[in-house]
């Protein structure tokens, strides 16, 4: 009986480890711990605006005209240094983003649209004098129904956004260092977009020593 129980526990542990997704390749961050894996609505993920559902095993979000606002779904995480990796597929959406907030305002985001990839520090006071700082705007052509991989890294005062491991934008701002990164989540403007292989990690406070190598 003891041997059977031991084998069962070993098999369960092996299956759990096998199901744990492989960490993404990062340029800036040294990954420390997996905090969120997957997109279970009502678990870590809370709907803010729009229509969100699990379809064919992936998270699908659509803007609702009645909201007069893009679709939003967020986690309740509060982190200092963070890595977010996911795949996105545009199914008619005009724009999507992975968005990070500060305690009281927007902080940063990576935008994926059919015709552009953007890495930016957000406008932090809406109608006030503060404006968004765009670190990268890169023209792209993303066909509907095709999957693309995004990695967002924030360590200290620096952020890096990567599309398909090839297009990279990066920049620094003192507000990144001063503010906690809270409620990371997705936004969708327009018809719909799908998300899969979503993983959120904490990262070490020290960036990789050679993270700028090969970057503009």
Model confidence at 2: pLDDT above 80: no
Tell me the average pLDDT of the chain. Answer: 89
Residues 51-61, mean pLDDT to the nearest whole number: 95
- Burial label for 186, CB within 10 Å (0-12, 13-18, 19+), is buried
163 exposure class (CB count in 10 Å sphere: 0-12, 13-18, 19+): buried
pLDDT > 50? residue 174: yes
| SS3 call for 156 | coil
- Tell me what pLDDT residue 14 has: 35
Strand partners of residue 45: 41
CA distance 123 to 205: 25
**What proportion of the chain, given as a percentage, has pLDDT over 70?**
88
Give the residue ranges of DSSP H helices in the chain.
2-19, 174-178
Alpha carbon distances (Å) from 176 to 35, 109, 157, 168, 171 = 20, 12, 5, 19, 10
What's the CA gap between 190 and 168, in Å, rounded?
25
Q: Which pLDDT belongs to residue 216?
A: 66
Let me know the angle formed at the C-alpha of 208 by 21 and 99, rounded to the nearest 5 degrees: 60
What CA–CA distance (Å, rounded) separates 84 from 185?
Answer: 10
pLDDT > 80? residue 17: no
Of 76, 83, 113, the residue nearest 188 (C-alpha): 113
DSSP 44-56: TBEEEESEEEEET
Compute the average pLDDT of residues 100-120.
96
Check residue 80 and give its pLDDT.
95
Q: What's the whole-model pTM score?
A: 0.88
Q: Give the tokens for residue 49.
A: 């605006």
Three-class SS string for 104-153?
A: CCEEEEEEEECCEEEEEECCCCCCCCCCCEEEEEEECCCCCCCEEEEEEE
Q: Is the pLDDT of residue 204 over 80?
A: yes
d(CA 187, CA 31): 24
pLDDT band at 7 (very low <50, low <70, confident <90, very high): very low
Domains of the chain in sequence order: 23-203 (2.60.120.560)
pLDDT band of 129, cuts 50, 70, 90: confident
């Amino acid at each position: 009986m003891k041997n059977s129980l031991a084998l069962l526990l070993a098999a369960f542990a092996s299956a759990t480890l096998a199901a744990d997704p492989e960490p993404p390749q990062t340029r800036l961050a040294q990954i420390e711990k997996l905090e969120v894996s997957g997109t279970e609505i009502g678990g870590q993920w809370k709907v803010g605006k729009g229509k969100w559902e699990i379809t064919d095993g992936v998270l699908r979000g659509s803007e609702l005209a009645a909201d007069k606002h893009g679709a939003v779904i967020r986690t309740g995480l509060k982190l200092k240094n963070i890595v977010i990796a996911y795949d996105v597929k545009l199914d008619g959406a005009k724009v999507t983003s992975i968005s990070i907030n500060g305690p009281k305002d927007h902080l940063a985001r990576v935008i994926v649209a059919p015709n552009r990839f953007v890495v930016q520090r957000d406008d932090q006071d809406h109608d006030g004098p503060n404006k968004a700082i765009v670190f990268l705007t890169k023209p792209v052509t993303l066909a509907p129904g095709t999957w693309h991989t995004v990695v967002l890294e924030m360590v200290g005062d620096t952020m890096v956004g990567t599309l398909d491991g090839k297009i990279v934008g990066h920049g620094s701002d003192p507000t990144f260092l001063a503010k906690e990164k809270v409620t990371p989540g997705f936004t969708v403007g327009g018809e719909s977009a799908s998300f899969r292989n979503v993983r959120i990690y904490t990262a070490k406070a020290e960036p990789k020593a050679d993270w700028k190598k090969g970057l503009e």
